[in-house]
Structures are given as C-alpha cells and as structure tokens.
Amino acid sequence: MNTIIALAYLLAAALFILGLKQLSSPKGARNGNFTAAAGMVIALGATVPLLHFTKAGLEITAVGLVIGTLIGTVGARMVRMTAIPQMVALFNGVGGGAAALVAVAELLKFGVHPPLAEVFPSVFSIVIGSVSFAGSMVAFAKLQELMTGTPITYPGQQIVNLLLAATIVGFAVAVLAVASIPFSFIALMVLALVLGVAFVLPIGGADMPVVISLLNACTGLAVAASGFTLNNFALIVAGTLVGASGSLLTKLMSDAMGRSLGNVLFGAFGQVRAGVTAVGSGGQARSVRSASAEDLGTLLAYSQRVIIVPGYGLAVAQAQHAARELADVLEKRGVEVEYAIHPVAGRMPGHMNVLLAEANVPYEQLKEMDQVNDDFKNADVALIVGANDVVNPAARTTPGSPIYGMPILNADQAKNVIFMKRSMRPGFAGIENELMYGPNTVMFFGDAKDSLTKLVSAVKAA
Amino acid sequence: MNTIIALAYLLAAALFILGLKQLSSPKGARNGNFTAAAGMVIALGATVPLLHFTKAGLEITAVGLVIGTLIGTVGARMVRMTAIPQMVALFNGVGGGAAALVAVAELLKFGVHPPLAEVFPSVFSIVIGSVSFAGSMVAFAKLQELMTGTPITYPGQQIVNLLLAATIVGFAVAVLAVASIPFSFIALMVLALVLGVAFVLPIGGADMPVVISLLNACTGLAVAASGFTLNNFALIVAGTLVGASGSLLTKLMSDAMGRSLGNVLFGAFGQVRAGVTAVGSGGQARSVRSASAEDLGTLLAYSQRVIIVPGYGLAVAQAQHAARELADVLEKRGVEVEYAIHPVAGRMPGHMNVLLAEANVPYEQLKEMDQVNDDFKNADVALIVGANDVVNPAARTTPGSPIYGMPILNADQAKNVIFMKRSMRPGFAGIENELMYGPNTVMFFGDAKDSLTKLVSAVKAA
Amino acid sequence: MTNELLNELTFFVLAIFVGFEVISKVPTILHTPLMSGTNAIHGIILVGAILIAAGANSPVTIVLGLVAVILATTNVVGGFVVTDRMLEMFKGRQAAKK
Amino acid sequence: MTNELLNELTFFVLAIFVGFEVISKVPTILHTPLMSGTNAIHGIILVGAILIAAGANSPVTIVLGLVAVILATTNVVGGFVVTDRMLEMFKGRQAAKK
Ligand SMILES: NC(=O)c1ccc[n+]([C@@H]2O[C@H](COP(=O)([O-])OP(=O)(O)OC[C@H]3O[C@@H](n4cnc5c(N)ncnc54)[C@H](OP(=O)(O)O)[C@@H]3O)[C@@H](O)[C@H]2O)c1
Ligand SMILES: NC(=O)c1ccc[n+]([C@@H]2O[C@H](COP(=O)([O-])OP(=O)(O)OC[C@H]3O[C@@H](n4cnc5c(N)ncnc54)[C@H](OP(=O)(O)O)[C@@H]3O)[C@@H](O)[C@H]2O)c1
C-alpha cells in the first residue's frame, strides 16, 4: 500500500512538473493546466488510504470540500476578465491561510516540547502562510478598489515594519528554543498577519501583480514547509516547485516592467511623490489639439496602415470589443490594422493579450514591442487607446524621469497620433506625457469604449 | 557521519547541476566545468569514510588512481584540437567499462541468488556499460582512422544485430529469473561487447559525434544503475543527469544536422550507397574553371567584403591559422572579412567555432548561418575552404537529393566564389556539388593550408 | 539528522532546480496564466488539510480542519478553473491563427 | 518495494527532469563541450570503483577493482581536462571580444 501511495505521489509530482513546463509555452499552456490538475487529483486520491476518519472528521472534510468547491467554481467562473488579478490574489491568499492552519493544527498535536525538526518548518509555515494570506487580502482589496490603490505611507513606516519583522523573528526563535507555551504560535500567527498587511500597504495598486507573484511563491514555500512537518512528499515537492518557479516568475515580471524587485516592493513612496510633483508643476499651460469623431473617422478610413496601441484605459473601459469592431470596419475598407502590445501595458504582464484575445482579435495582428517598433514610422496613424506611460517619449529623452530607460512603443514616429483618453491626467507613473503636445498628435477625449464606438460610426460614414 | 556524507553528496549533486547549467551558456561554460569538477572532488572526498580498505584494496586503489590520472592528463593534454572527438569517445568508453566492471564485482558478492532489486540494475549496467565501452572504442578507431570511416555493411546485417540484441535480452532475463550460474554475467558482458561493436560498425565516421553522444548518455544510465546496486545517491543522481541531458543533447545534435536520430543510427547504408552511385553516374564530363594564386590574390585584395566559409577540410588540413593570417592581411588592406559558420560544418557541431577560436579569430567575425545568409549577395567573394555539403545548392534546388531541405549557406549568391579543395571529390554526403560548376565559381585545388598560404603571399604582392 | 529528513531535504533541493529550470523560458504573455497555474498547484496543501481534518476530535481541531479544508479547496478549484478561463482565450487565438 | 528503493526511484525521476531542463537552451556551438563535460560527470563511477577496489580480497576482485579504478579515473581526469582545453578557446574568444 505504501509503495502504491509513494508511486502515486511521484506520478503526481511528475505531472506537476510537466504541467508547469507546458504552461510556459503558448502551444501547450491549456493542456499544462489540465496536466497539473490531473496531478492534483492523483495526489488527493493517493492520500485517501492515509486517512483515519473520526466521525466529526469525515463530516468537516466533506462539508469543507463542498463549500470550497462552490466558492472556487463560482468565484472563478463569475469573475470578469479584468478582475482576474484580484481573483488570483484571493486564491493565493486562501492557500497561504490553509498552510498556516495546517501547521498550527499539526503543532498542537505535540504537547509542550515538540521536536525541533517539527517545530522549525511549522513555525516557518505559520509565519509565511499568514503573511501571504494577509498580504494577498490587501492586494485583493486594492485591486478590487475596496481601498485606495495608491501607496499608503506614513513617516517612519519602514522602521515600524522592520521592528514588526524583528519581533516575529525573535518570537519565532523563542518558540523554537523554548516552545513551552502551546498557544504561542497563535500569537505568532497574529503578528504575521499584521506584518502581511503592513508589507503590502505601502505598495501601489499597479504593482500588485508582482506582489501577488511574490506572495504566491511564499505560499509555495509555506506549503513545502508543512510538507516537512507532515513528512508528506507531495506537499514538499509541489510546494517547492511553486516556491522556486514563483520566485523566478516574480523576477521575470519585475524585469518586464523594467524595474528591480526591490524598487517595486520598497520604492513606491519616493517615486510616486516625485511624479505627482512633476505633474503639479509642469504642463497645462500649453494647449493641445483635439478633433471631432468625424474628422478622425475620415483620417482612419483613408489610411493605409493603422497601429492600435491598447493600454490600461482600454481594460478599464472594457473597450476591447469596440477596438476589435473598429479594426474590422477598417479592414473591410482595406486598411491594414495591427495592435502594438507593450509587455507591461495594462496592470499585469500579458493583460492586453488576454483582453484582446477575449475579443477574438486574430493572433497575427498582435505584435510584440520589438516586432512592431520599426513599423511605426511607416504607419499613417497610431491610435492610442487608454495607454499612456508605454508611449511616453520621456523614457527615451528625459534622463531623470522615473521611467527613463524603460523601453517604450515608438508611437510618436507615426505620421499621425490619435490619443484617446478621458482627460489630460497622467498615467500610472504619474508623469506628464510630451506626446500629448506633439505636432502630429490629436487628442480625442472620452471613455475609451464610447470614443471607439463613435469612431466606428464615423468610419462607416466616411 | 552519515548525515555529513549525505549532505556532501547532495552538495556534489547540486554542483553537477549548476555545472551543467553553466556549461550550456557561452559565458559560464568554462566555470561550469570547474563547478562540476568541484562536485566530483566533494563526492570522492565524501566517499572516503565509507571505505574499509583491505591491504590489497589500498594498493590497487592508489595504483589505479595514479595510472588513471596519468593516462587522463597526458591523453587530454597531448591531443590535437581536431582529434578531440575521438578523445571524448575514449573517455566515454572507459567510463562505460568501469560501470560494467563495478556491477560485475558487486554481483559477485551475492552468491547464487542475489535479490532481484540488486540483479536488475546490475545486469542493466553490465549490458549498457559494455555496449558503451565497445561502441566507443569502434568510434574512436573510426575517427582516429585506425579503421575505415565508411560504414561497414553486409547483407542481413540488421537481422544479425537484432538477433544479437534479442539473445542478450533473453540471456539477461534468464540471469534475472534463475541467476544460478555466478559467471553468467561474464558471458552477458562478452555478448554486450560484441553488440557494441556490431552496433557502431555500420555507422559512417562522420556520424560518430552523434553516436558518441548517445553512448555518453548510455554510460550515464549505466552509472545510475550501478548507483541503484550500490545504493549510492551520488551515482544515481549524477548518472541520471548525464543520461537525461545526454539523450536530449543527442537529439539536439542530430537536429542540428537536419536528420533524425534513427536516420543517423540505422540509415547509413542506403544513403551512402545512393550517394556513391550518384557520383559515379553524374559529373566529371563538364569542365570547371580554376585560377592561379596570383589572380585570386588580386581579386581578394581589391574586394570590399569577403566571407570565408570554413569546412571539414580546413579542420583536416589544420588550416585555421593560415585562414586567420589571410584575413589579417586582407583587413590591413581595408577588406571587410567575416566567417560564415554553418552549424554542422566539420564533423561535430561547434567544430569550426572551436578551431577558429584556437586561431584567435575575433568573436565578432564569426557569423552564424542565420546572421550571415543575407549578406552573401553583398559579398564580393565567398571563399570556401574545405567545405562542401554546407554550401551545396542542391539542398535548396534538388528534391530527392539526400541533403534536400537541409539549411545551407548561400555562398552561391556571392559575386565570386573561390572553392578551395584538393579534388573534385564530393564531401561527406557523397553527392555532387553544382556550385563547383557555377558561372561565378573558380576552383583552387590543393591542400587547404598550402593554398591559403599561397593566397597570403599573393595578396601581399597584389 | 534522520534519514527521512535527509531524503526530504534532497527532494527539496532537486525540486528547487526543477522549479527554476522548467519555467525559465516562459514568454511575457504567459506570465499571468503561469502565476495562476502555480497558484493552483500550491493548493496541494489540501492534502495536508484533509489529513488534519480527517482526524479532528476536539473543537479546536474541528474548526481548524474545517477552515483549512475550505480554504485549500477554494485554492485548488478556483485556481485551476480561473487558469483555464484565461487560457481558453489563448486557445481561441490559436484557432483564429489557423 | 523498500523505502530505500522508492527514495532512489524518486531521486532518479527528479534528476531526469533536471537533466532535461537544465541544458535545454544550449546553443549549437556548445554541443561538443557540453558532451565532453557530461562525459566527465559520469566519471562519478569512480566512487563506485573505489568502493569495490577498497574491499578487494580475492584475485578476481583485485583485478576487477584495479581495472575499474584505472578506467574510471581516466574518465574523470581526462574528461575534465579535455573539456577545459576546449573551453579555453571560448574564453580566448570572449577576451578578444572585449
Ligand atoms: N502590465 C504590468 O505588468 C504592469 C504592472 C504594474 C504596473 N504597470 C504600469 O502600468 C503602466 C501601464 O501603462 P499603460 O500605458 O497601459 O497605462 P497608464 O500609463 O496607466 O495609462 C492609462 C491611461 O488610460 C486612461 N484611461 C483610464 N481609464 C480610461 C477610460 N475609461 N477610457 C479611456 N481612457 C482611460 C488614463 O487617462 P485618463 O485618466 O485621462 O483617462 C491613463 O492615462 C506602466 O506605467 C506600467 O509600468 C504595469
Ligand atoms: N558538424 C557536425 O556535427 C557533423 C557531424 C557529422 C557529419 N557532418 C556532416 O559533415 C558535412 C560537413 O560539411 P562540410 O562542408 O564541412 O564538409 P564536407 O562536405 O565533408 O566537405 C569537406 C571538403 O573538404 C575537402 N577537403 C578534405 N581535406 C582537405 C584538405 N586537406 N585541404 C582542402 N580541402 C580538403 C574535401 O574535398 P577534397 O577531398 O576534394 O579535398 C571535401 O569535399 C555535412 O554533410 C554534415 O552533415 C557534420
């Protein structure tokens, strides 16, 4: 029996690995998710013979599985595409919470002097799991706009957080060394929850994807630690896989934003303030050109080549279908249409791809930054829909700007630029965009979806 | 103590993995080799406490280590760069032999009825290790030209080999099931040695690199199997790492040659014969242009852009230094010189890179096929030095040719082609090369090194 | 260290290498689904949760077990379903491509 | 199966994944050095060879042990040295690059 269980766990681990591998290539990604799910089913099935149910145990297991399945399915099915980041945060948080609870329950079994080899991973799992839970909940709240997305800061914050972390470490060491108060880990858990909140509060809403990825990796490690406590192979390997791949992914994600992880986690304050000041001081004195839907419709209809640059505003306005519609009517008139996808357009990497895919935009029209950047100079129109930072020429021209050096889309090289947004307000980075004042730029103010719909009619009429 | 040994083995395994990782990126490759060597030292050191020396045991261990170190160092230091493939074959073979011997010695310890869990991996190790040993020796002999490099075939050969393999499997099953004759594994070993020879004989000398890589992976698996017999973690993990990465590498190598592994291993006969026939029937009737060193020197000296295409003949003639010298004198005259490196030019992937690097050709002048292929049409001269198949336009134009579809260097698009080889004989694939008869092609017959030296003088005189 | 702990440590180390290497070539566009997919995988904590819940015999362990199972199940089910929803889009694009 | 065998099997499976993934991005130009480097690593059989040789107490085991140690040592030493020679060239190129 034990042999079969061990082999089943091994098979599950292999399926998780294969699943991850497939998930990281566009062709196999969806299968990869199934493969990993199959691994999960096998691991759960193999666990059944290990269970010795009490009466209450059987009941709560069944009830728990049903409730969890309901919440999970409904939550995942109902969520709108734009709300996926916060959903992932939620699912990650509950995993961390579960890991912490499992570790607590396991520790309670050993009276006052549990063996060190059990206490150490348990304490780790409790602390990290709780931080992950609380942090994920704050990330969820920020993304769901239940609380402000701007960094919440106060003087001496970093010192307070540092003290908090130090207290936890001290407390953990005490638990490890003395371990005489059975409920000390409950206190540890509470402290860790506070730390989780405090850790995420000063990070801006737009950086949440990176934070979620980091907390995801943390949950993985907490799960692996629970595996050490329970001497369970499946938990150790699966948790470690997530911990390792999640850490790498976090780094890849902050790289894709052109920033270091440290900057994302701890640099929010200064940067945003500077941005805000810059906006306050500069701009607004100069005037911009704006135009009517009819004029722009004619311009578009008689172009040869149009490149659409989607951004966060398109996501917020749920304007992906309208964009697709505009592209369709333009193509019917023989205009060549492409989408220029900046890697960090929107609020998580891949955001634009997912949204435009949802609107059935053909794959070949989606162009990555490197592919498309040389094409702008041959484009008649660059149509910027709710994007801002990713086309800000300051990244190329203004040393000292917070986004200086970040690779951007060369929309400014197009013969005409149509800039669609609701106002002159800056984008996520909080800095002004010279492109709005460019000689070839025409502003078209309004909600992205409304504006695009107007353009569709205008093109049809042209 | 056991804890320390286990941790040391784990550290060694981690170093092997890191070493492999570094070895597969150009920047870290040399460090990777050191990292892996450090892992080896740690693994060996950790083994010392496990040893209980008999008097004879101490002596033979010491003597063996000294002799092996001498052979290894001298062999590896003395070998010429072009002879590296056969050296790798040799070192791989002895590893396989050692694995087989270790398995035999371990099996001898268990009287007549060793437990199946010991016998199975031992038998595997004996068979695979012996095949690897014998096969590698044949590969060595072919590459060192101790025997003919052409495939050795006779009617019904594949059937004979199949029967041989079947006998071994049958015998192995008998050993596993009955295991009553202690020396039956010696017989198994002898049979496996014969199979190793028979397996490699029908494969052409030029395919040896792929064969060596395959046997390398086999040795890795044999070592891992020995690890199962000895219950030794270091052997299992290191052997498996080599087995897995070696298998993938074998596939990558045959991919780089544009052929399937099956074709490399079993397809030699037909293909080569067809090639030979093709040559016998076609060609030779038409005439080719050839020119004097002086004419060619002038042509080169007054060119703007020369692309050198090195091939196997350059390696054989050890002409890399002469090529470098020619490039130097040309550059002094302001001629732009580049080297076009076909991935399978020579007789092993990376062969040309290694050779040219030996001659201190600057890195930037080495261009991979994809980088350089579009440049040929702007080149005044394509100087082909001992290459043949990799510039054969039949790969593009002649469906049915054995190399049809293989990506080639577009040397034929250069304004002038200087084709340096000793004769009109075909290259490795045994098929004729239309490019020799091309309107812009001039042949320059002779040993590559002599010819290049002549060209150097001619350019200086021009 | 016990043998068991040593083995577990070994699994841990090897899994770290696998985890790093296996995703090292992921394109930017797959970052979000990959994050979501790994998120579902750490739902394996459900195995731990039912091990705890099954043996629950005191009010404290019953509460802990029930909550742990609910949270972990939500993680597993929600994680895989939401990842699949995301990737469905990509499939749509592949189909569109053909 | 014994626990030991199960653990060994697990190491084996995880090592397969690591082996595959870790070299999956190797450029063509490094095929030969990589082959040579992995070739040196399987020289780890030397650990097995000295385990056998150390305890040799009969003519048969003495011969087997001696030959095995010689072969395995040649594999290790020759393998690493020849790989280093090959890679020295690449270093030369890197230097030239600067
Ligand atoms: N993708 C990621 O991984 C990621 C993660 C975290 C942070 N970020 C950051 O997010 C930014 C992404 O750049 P981006 O160009 O996509 O976005 P952005 O710079 O934030 O600009 C979005 C623009 O859309 C406009 N907008 C908002 N709602 C709109 C609506 N309903 N209709 C029309 N326009 C609307 C806003 O202007 P109005 O208010 O005037 O309308 C805003 O200027 C970068 O700074 C990046 O570093 C990205
Ligand atoms: N790189 C790999 O991984 C690998 C492995 C196995 C097989 N291969 C195969 O090897 C071939 C490589 O193509 P290649 O163009 O490099 O070589 P090739 O097609 O074999 O041609 C080499 C040419 O060099 C000439 N040559 C020989 N010795 C010479 C000397 N001393 N001086 C001057 N010329 C000399 C030969 O002609 P003469 O006899 O007339 O002088 C021959 O035609 C491909 O078919 C490839 O598939 C490659």
Q: Is the pLDDT of residue A403 over 90?
A: no
Q: Round to whole Å and give the CA distance between A52 and B298.
A: 91
B421 pocket-lining for ligand 2 (C-beta < 6 Å): yes
Residues 6+ apart with CB under 8 A from D53: B57, B60, B61, B64, D65, D66, D68, D69
The segment(s) of chain B belonging to CATH 3.40.50.1220 are 293-461
pLDDT of A383 reads 96
Of B375, B389, B412, B447, which one is the catalytic site residue? B389
Q: Is the pLDDT of residue B205 over 90?
A: no
What average pLDDT does this structure show over A86-101?
95
Q: Is the pLDDT of residue A401 over 80?
A: no
Q: Label residue B262 by pLDDT band (50, 70, 90).
A: confident
Tell me phi and psi for residue A48, to 5 degrees.
Answer: -50, -50
SS3 A207: helix
- List the single best residue of C4, C5, C6, C7 to mutate versus D (max D Cβ within 10 A): C7
Over chain B, what is the mean pLDDT?
86
B204 pocket-lining for ligand 2 (C-beta < 6 Å): no
CB atoms closer than 10 angstroms to residue A212: 33
What average pLDDT does this structure show over A18-32?
90
Q: State what percent of residues in chain A have pLDDT above 90.
A: 52
Least confident range from A171-185, A418-432, B65-79, B349-363: namely A171-185
Cα-to-chain-centroid distance, residue D64: 20
More confident residue, A266 or A54: A54
How far does the CA of residue C11 sit from the closest CA of chain D (Å)?
7
Q: Is the pLDDT of residue B9 over 50?
A: yes
Residue D3 belongs to some domain of the structure:
no
Q: Round to whole Å and give the CA distance between A200 and A135.
A: 6
Q: Show the domain range for C45.
A: 30-97
Query: Which tokens sit at A229?
Result: 């406590």
DSSP string over A42-110: HHHHHHGGG----HHHHHHHHHHHHHHHHHHHHHHHHS-GGGHHHHHHHHHHHHHHHHHHHHHHHHHHS
Nearest chain D residue to C14 by CA distance is D14
The CA-atom distances, in angstroms, between A324 and each of A357, A359, C25 are 10, 7, 30
Nearest chain C residue to D5 by CA distance is C7
Q: State what percent of residues in chain B have pLDDT above 70.
A: 92
Q: Round to whole Å and give the CA distance between B205 and B140.
A: 9
Query: Which tokens sit at C66?
Result: 């029930």
Q: Label residue D91 by pLDDT band (50, 70, 90).
A: low
Which ligand is closest to the CA of A353, given by its number?
1
pLDDT of B424 reads 87
Q: What's the CA angle centered on B276, arms B274 and B280, to 5 degrees?
A: 115
What average pLDDT does this structure show over B168-187?
75
Using one digit for the tens of pLDDT, what is the confidence trace for B121-131?
999 999 999 99
Task: Please state whether at least 3 CB pairs lie below 8 Å between chains A and B.
Answer: no
Torsion of CA B271, B277, B278, B284, to 10 degrees: 140
Do the Cβ atoms of B344 and B390 come closer than 8 Å? Answer: yes
Query: Which tokens sit at B91?
Result: 């070192």
What average pLDDT does this structure show over A425-433?
81
Instruction: Report CA(B344)–ligand 2 centroid distance (Å).
Output: 10
Length of chain D: 98
The closest alpha carbon to A50, from A105, A114, A108, A4, belongs to: A4
More confident residue, A217 or D30: A217
Using one digit for the tens of pLDDT, what is the confidence trace for B270-313?
444 333 333 333 434 577 888 888 889 989 998 999 999 999 88
**Secondary structure letter of residue B149 according to DSSP:** S
Length of chain B: 462
Dihedral angle sign, alpha carbons of residues C29, C30, C33, C34: negative
Q: Is the pLDDT of residue B256 over 90?
A: no
What average pLDDT does this structure show over B324-351?
88
Burial class (CB in 10 A: 0-12, 13-18, 19+), B82: buried
A411 pocket-lining for ligand 1 (C-beta < 6 Å): no
What average pLDDT does this structure show over D49-72?
94
pLDDT of A443 reads 92
Q: Is the pLDDT of residue B259 over 80?
A: no
Do the Cβ atoms of A205 and A143 come closer than 8 Å? Answer: yes
SS3 A146: coil
Least confident range from A46-55, A94-103, A259-268, D3-12: namely A259-268
Cα-to-chain-centroid distance, residue D75: 8
Runs of H (alpha helix) within B144-200: 157-177, 184-200
Residue C22 belongs to some domain of the structure:
no
Q: Round to whole Å and give the CA distance between A90 and B398.
A: 60
User: Which residues is A441 bridged to in the sheet?
Assistant: A417
The closest alpha carbon to C22, from A18, B13, B69, belongs to: A18
pLDDT of B316 reads 82
More confident residue, A276 or C3: C3
pLDDT of A141 reads 92
Q: Is the pLDDT of residue B157 over 90?
A: no
Query: Which tokens sit at B367?
Result: 């261009």
Q: Round to whole Å and give the CA distance between A388 and A405.
A: 16
Using one digit for the tens of pLDDT, what is the confidence trace for A94-137?
999 999 999 999 888 876 677 777 888 999 999 999 999 999 99
How far does the CA of residue B165 sit from the closest CA of chain C (Å)?
35
The CA-atom distances, in angstroms, between B93 and each of A373, B33, D45 are 53, 20, 12
Q: Residues of chain C whose C-beta is under 8 A from some C-beta in B?
A: 1, 6, 9-10, 13-14, 17, 21
More confident residue, A212 or A430: A212
Contact C25 D24 (CB under 8 A): yes
Using one digit for the tens of pLDDT, what is the confidence trace for A229-280?
999 999 999 999 999 999 999 998 887 766 778 877 776 544 443 333 333 3
Residues 6+ apart with CB under 8 A from A395: A401, A403, A404, A405, A406, A407, A408
Least confident range from A168-182, A273-287, B153-167, B246-260: namely A273-287
Listing from the earlier edge strand, what are the strands of the sheet with A381-385?
A366-368, A336-341, A305-310, A381-385, A416-421, A441-445
Q: State what percent of residues in chain A have pLDDT above 70.
A: 92
pLDDT of A28 reads 85
Least confident range from A25-29, B86-90, D77-81: namely A25-29
Do the Cβ atoms of A306 and A330 come closer than 8 Å? Answer: yes
What average pLDDT does this structure show over B349-361?
80
pLDDT of A181 reads 61
A311 pocket-lining for ligand 1 (C-beta < 6 Å): yes
Contact B350 D80 (CB under 8 A): no
pLDDT of B85 reads 83
pLDDT of B384 reads 96
What average pLDDT does this structure show over A29-52?
95
Interface of C with D in 35-64 (CB under 8 A): none
Runs of H (alpha helix) within B50-153: 55-78, 84-109, 116-143
Residues of chain B with C-beta less than 8 angstroms from the C-beta of D67: 64, 97-98, 101
pLDDT of B41 reads 97
Query: What is the number of domains present in chain C?
Result: 1
Atom 18 (ligand 2) nearest CA: B427
pLDDT of A182 reads 61
Q: Strand B336-341 to strand B305-310: parallel, antiparallel, or no bridges (unpaired)?
A: parallel
Does the CB of B340 have a partner CB in chain C at under 8 Å? no
Residue C15 belongs to some domain of the structure:
no
A255 tagged catalytic: no
pLDDT of B183 reads 67
ipTM over 0.90: no
Q: What CATH number labels B293-461?
A: 3.40.50.1220
Q: Which residue has the tokens 């979620």?
A: A212
User: Which residues is A419 bridged to in the sheet?
Assistant: A384, A443
Contact B52 D88 (CB under 8 A): no
How far does the CA of residue D5 sit from the closest CA of chain C (Å)?
12
Contact D6 A13 (CB under 8 A): no
The set of chains that have 3 or more CB pairs under 8 A with B is C, D
Q: Round to whole Å and give the CA distance between A107 and A64.
A: 21
Q: Label residue B19 by pLDDT band (50, 70, 90).
A: very high
Using one digit for the tens of pLDDT, what is the confidence trace for B85-140?
889 999 999 999 999 999 999 888 876 677 777 788 999 999 999 999 999 999 99
Q: Is the pLDDT of residue B345 over 80?
A: yes
Using one digit for the tens of pLDDT, what is the confidence trace for C25-78?
887 778 888 999 999 999 999 999 999 999 999 999 999 999 999 999 999 999
Q: Is the pLDDT of residue C96 over 50?
A: no
What average pLDDT does this structure show over B230-245?
95
Using one digit for the tens of pLDDT, what is the confidence trace for B367-400?
888 889 999 999 999 999 999 989 999 888 887 7
pLDDT of C97 reads 43
pLDDT of C35 reads 93
CB atoms closer than 10 angstroms to residue B299: 22
Interface of A with C in 126-145 (CB under 8 A): none
